[in-house]
Amino acid sequence: MNMSSPGVAMRPPEEADSAAAQTVIAFGETLVDQFRDRNVLGGAPFNVACHLGALGAHPVLVTRAGKDVPGEQLLQAMSERGLDLRGVQRDPVRPTGRVKVTETARGHAFDILSDQAYDHIHPSLARMVGLSSHPQIVYFGTLSQRSDSRRALHALLGTVEAQAFLDVNLRDPWVDADTLRWSLQQASVVKLNEDELARIAALFTLDGATPHARAAVLVSGFNLRRVVVTCGADGAWTLDGAGRIESVTGVALPHVVDTVGAGDGFAAVFILGMLRRWPLALRLARADAFARALCQIRGAVPSSQDFYVPFIREWKLETERASA
88 in a structural domain: yes
Give yes or no for a contact between 214 and 188, defined as CB atoms under 8 angstroms apart. no
Using a 10 angstrom Cβ sphere, with 0-12 exposed, 13-18 middle and 19 or more buried, the burial of residue 151 is: middle
User: How many C-alpha atoms does 173 have within 13 Å on its Cβ side?
Assistant: 2
296 in a structural domain: yes
Give yes or no for a contact between 196 and 184, defined as CB atoms under 8 angstroms apart. no
2 in a structural domain: no
CATH number at residue 147: 3.40.1190.20
Per residue in 198-222, pLDDT (tens digit) is: 999 999 999 888 999 999 999 999 9
- The pLDDT, as a whole number, for residue 6 is 36
Give yes or no for a contact between 75 and 89, defined as CB atoms under 8 angstroms apart. no
**Confidence bin at 101 (pLDDT 50/70/90):** confident
261 in a structural domain: yes
Question: Does position 157 have pLDDT exceeding 90, yes or no?
Answer: yes
127 in a structural domain: yes
Give yes or no for a contact between 275 and 16, defined as CB atoms under 8 angstroms apart. yes
Top pLDDT among 101 and 318 is at: 318
Q: What total number of domains does the chain contain?
A: 1
Question: Does position 3 have pLDDT exceeding 50, yes or no?
Answer: no
pTM for this entry: 0.91
- The pLDDT, as a whole number, for residue 107 is 66
pLDDT cut 70: percent of the chain above it? 93
Catalogue the E-assigned strands of the chain: 23-27, 31-34, 39-42, 58-66, 88-91, 97-104, 107-112, 137-140, 163-167, 189-193, 226-230, 235-240, 245-249
18 in a structural domain: no
300 in a structural domain: yes
Domain carrying residue 185: 23-323
215 in a structural domain: yes
